[in-house]
Each structure stands twice: as structure tokens, then as C-alpha cells.
Amino acid sequence: MTETLSNLALGFSIALSPPILFYAFLGCFVGTLVGVLPGVGPLAGISLLLPATFGLDATRAIVMLAGIYYGAMYGGSTTSILMRIPGEAASVMTCIDGYAMARKGRAGAALTIAAVGSYLAGSASVVGLMLLAPPLALFALRFGPPEYFALLMLGLLVLAYMSSGSMLKSLAMATLGLLLGMIGIDQMTGYFRYAYGVVELGDGIGVVPVAVGLFGLAEILATAGLATPPQVVKPRLRELLPTRQEWRESAWPIGRGTVLGFLIGIVPGSAHIIASFVSYAVERKLSKRPEEFGQGAVAGVAGPESANNSATSGAFVPMLALGVPSGPIPAVMLAAMMVHGVAPGPLLIKQQPELFWGFIASMYVGNVVLLILNLPLVGLFVNVLRVPYPILYPSIIAFCILGVYAVNGSVVDVWIMLMMGVLGYLLRKLGFETAPIVLGVVLAPMIEMALRQSLAMSDGQYSIFVSRPIAGTLLLVGLILIILGLKPLVTRGLDWRARLALAEKGQEQP
């Protein structure tokens, strides 16, 4: 414990230095702007803004990217409450009661509760991250290639299981992602695979063009033609303070959302989306007046907003401690860290303590910055929403092209983004989740390397994956998830994933 505290002090000495503070502030500000824009969620936002960090050292770059991630999560709640448009998927549940509160004239109170809940949950879950990541990293030092292979496979299976909608479709998308990740030089033999003479494909398909195409461009392709400008409720500053009753009603939901969000965040999958959904369901179940949910219940804003911010920190635990991204956003963060020469994993905490603890401390600082930023400047962020969409979306497209080109200075990446955009648009129309594709692309080289190293260790015997206890247990958990995921096909009923998919489409409240 003493060691943790002294490490944290080291982290704060870095995070509170003026340059780092400036980049945390900048990241939070830009992230909030990105989160407010419908269609540009945290994933596309981080991908687009990655080139802007190239001139920075690793610590500043990662602090800024984490700020963008946090800010985008915060920003998403603003559009949910004021326009009933989730800036990103995790804010879907906030739309229901947040917008209902706004229509009753309590928009300011809803925004304050969402901001304070997010702040408390974000800060508390960083404590969890701080306490959990180092021992987990220590445990992970026992992992060899078979254990890593099993862990990575489990990550993909959990993501498929946790995704809303059909598990079969999610698994198909994860496989497509893995297949796309096979493009490029074979790491064991040096062979060019599926490059068709395009030298730039030798390094494989980058995660940034894939993420921007599937999440940024695809969204624009799907929404640009829909000309129905939504109403924006503009709150006044003096209306920001919730009443005593509203504070009382939000206290327990914030606490529950924090714990729930962190625990769900650690598990691979679209954690922050699931966390907000589960929190909403729990709050409605525990409420003495469940009929108020959907009509502007404070707990319906406080719980999900706290849960999705808590899950954001939780998702960093496996990424920092094991080097295994638990979802598409941590996957892009992982790629961003690698661009800056940082390799997350068990050795990060030992080899680069100033980076790890500086990052942890900057998360505390980022939460404070966001609280200071979000409430007084809410009017400014709302004004962004007043820019007509026919002017806004061409600018977002220009940023997509710029962001993707700037990562490697390659036009091939722009073509990949374009193809992924079309693919994402079609898949979205046909009801497929695209997040597993991004994770598949990132994990493919790691999974292949771990598989081939394991087989080299065992002289080609696949039994190595079941004869080693950790690998065997992880694969068994994966198998159980497959069975659980396929259960609704037999029972022909709606399981929680199907209900989540319906809720995301706004067809049904969970």
C-alpha cells in the first residue's frame, strides 16, 4: 500500500506539471466536442485525433488521448439529455429519462447530475484501476503463449457474447476482423499475404482506417440523407443546480452504477454500453416508483451515466496490465500507445512507472477538468449542435480523410477507410455489429503469433491448450459462453442481448 501511494505521488508530480495539465485539459475539451457531435463517438474521435499527438512525447500523448476518451463519454450525455440523440452508444439509456427531464424544464439538473455522477464514478473507478492493475500484471507474468492465446480468444468470445443482438452475427464479424488482420507480412515466415503487390499492405491493415471507416464514415453515409433536424433544449446556467430531493434520489444510483460499471468494465466486451443498460435495469428494479422511469426519473440518468464512466476506467485494467484490449476503444488506445513506442502489458508498470502512474494520476485530474469544463461551458457545446447537419457532416468527412491519411501519410489508408465505410454502412443496414471487426483486426496478429508459438512449443500438439491449467480454464469459460449465447436459438426466446438490441433501436425500453 505504501508503495502504491508513493507511486501515485510520483504520478501526481507528473500529471500536475503544467504541460501535462494543459494536454489533459485540451484532450477533455476536444473529446467533449467530439462526444457532442452525433455520429462521431469516442472510437472515431480517438482515431481521428491520433495524428494530432504525433509531435508529443508518449506521456503527453497518452494523457491527451485518455482525455479525449473521457471527454467523448461526457459529451455523449449532453446530446442525449438535450436532443434525445445519443452522441455515442453508451448514452442510449440516458436519452430516455434525461430527455424526459429536459422536457419538464429540468435539463440543467439532468446535466449536473450526469456530470457529478460521471465525476464521482470516474474518480472512484480509477482507485479500482490503481489497486487492481499492478497485481494482475504480476499474475500475468506467469502467462506463456498458450495462456495468451486462450485469453485473447476468450476476449473475442466475451465481446461477441456481450454485444447486443445475435451472438452468431457477432462471432462472424469477429472472424471477419481476424481475417482482415491476416493481411500483411507473415511474422513467422516473412511471406506477403493478400497484399496483391500493394507495398503499403505489408504492415497489414491499420486499426485507425478500419475504425474511422466503420464508425465515422459509415455513420455519415447512413445519416447524411436523413433531413430531420432535431430540437435542441438549451438550459440556462441558473437552472443547473438540482434540488435537494434530486440529489437524494441520485446518491445511491451513482454508488451502484460506479461499482457495477467498474466490474463490467473489466470484462471484455462493449463494457460501457452494457454497463449503462444493466444499471438502468437495476435502478428500475430497485425503485419504489418504477412507473416514473421513462417519464424523467433522476435515477435513470444518475445510474447509467455513472456506470458508463466507471466502465471506461475498468476497461483500462486488462489493457494496461495484460496488454489485452477489452473492446474496440481500448484496442485503438492500445494501437495509439504502440505508435508512441509504449507496449502495454505486465512489464509496463515495472519498466515505465512514470508513464503508468502519470496516466493514472491524469485520470483523476481529467475527471476534475471535465467537471469544471462541462457545466459552465454546456452552452458552448450545445451551440455546436446548432450548426446545420448539411454543413457539419462534410466537415466531419474532411476530418476523417485528414485523420486517416496523417497516421502513415498513405493514400492506401484512405482507400481502406472508404471500403470499410461502405462495408460498415451495409452491415449496419443489415443489423450486424461492427465493433468485433475492429477488435479482430487488432487481435489477429497477437492471436496468430501466440498460436504458432504454442504449437512450436508442443511440436504441433493442440493438447497444449487444455493440458495447461490457466489456458484450459480460459478456453472452458469461452466454451460455456458459446453455449449460453446459442441457448436462445433453442429456446426461441428473447435473451438480454436481444432486448438490448431492441432498446438501442429505441423500439422497447429494457
Partner 1 sequence: MPVVLALVLLGFGALVYLLGGGNAPRLAAVGWSEWRHAVAIFLVCAFAALALERLGFRLTIALSLAFLLGVVEHKGFAVTAAVSIVFAGAAFFLFDTFLRVPLPRGPFGL
The footprint of partner 1 (CB under 8 A) covers 51-52, 54-55, 166, 168-169, 171-172, 175-176, 178-179, 182, 193-194, 217, 220-226, 390-391, 393-395, 397-399, 401-402, 405-406, 409, 411, 414-415, 417-418, 421-422, 425, 429-430, 448, 451, 489
For partner 1, which is the closer residue by CB, 397 or 502? 397
Polymer length of the chain? 510
d(CA 293, CA 71): 27
Q: Which residues pair with 184 in a beta bridge?
A: 193
State in angstroms the smallest separation of the CB of 109 from partner 1. Answer: 36
Torsion of CA 490, 492, 493, 497, to 10 degrees: 70
Q: Which is nearer to partner 1, 2 or 228 (CB)?
A: 228
CB of 194 to partner 1, least distance (A): 7
Give the separation between CA 181 and CA 187, rounded to whole angstroms.
Answer: 12
- Rounded Cα gap, residues 57 and 39, in angstroms: 30
Determine phi and psi for 192, rounding to 5 degrees: -85, 125
Closest to partner 1 by CB, 49 or 93 = 49
Provide, rounded to whole angstroms, the least separation between the CB of residue 417 and partner 1: 8
* Distant-in-sequence, close-in-space partners of 481: CB < 8 Å, separation ≥ 6: 157, 158, 161
Q: Which of 204, 158, 150 is nearest to 181 (CA)?
A: 204
Quote the least distance from Cβ 263 to partner 1, whole Å.
30
Q: Which CB, 162 or 407, lies closer to partner 1?
A: 407
Contact 302/115 with Cβ under 8 angstroms?
A: no
Minimum distance, C-beta of residue 115 to partner 1, in the bound complex (Å): 28
- C-beta of 187: minimal distance to partner 1 in Å? 11
Angle between helices 271-286 and 244-266 (to 10 degrees): 140
Q: Least distance in Å: CB of 496 to partner 1?
A: 19
Q: DSSP string of 36-87? A: HSTT--HHHHHHHHGGGGTTS-HHHHHHHHHHHHHHHHHHHHHHHHHHS--S
Smaller CB separation from partner 1, 290 or 394:
394
The three three-digit cell numbers of residue 368, written as one number: 476534475
User: Taking the CB of residue 199, how many other CB atoms lie within 10 A of it?
Assistant: 10
Residue placing its CB nearer to partner 1 in the complex, 280 or 432 = 432
Q: Least distance from C-beta 399 to partner 1, angstroms?
A: 7
Nearer to partner 1, 21 or 422 (CB): 422
Cβ atoms < 10 Å from Cβ of 468 = 19
| Rounded distance between C-alpha atoms, residue 490 and residue 473, angstroms | 26
Closer Cβ to partner 1, 1 or 490, answer by number:
490
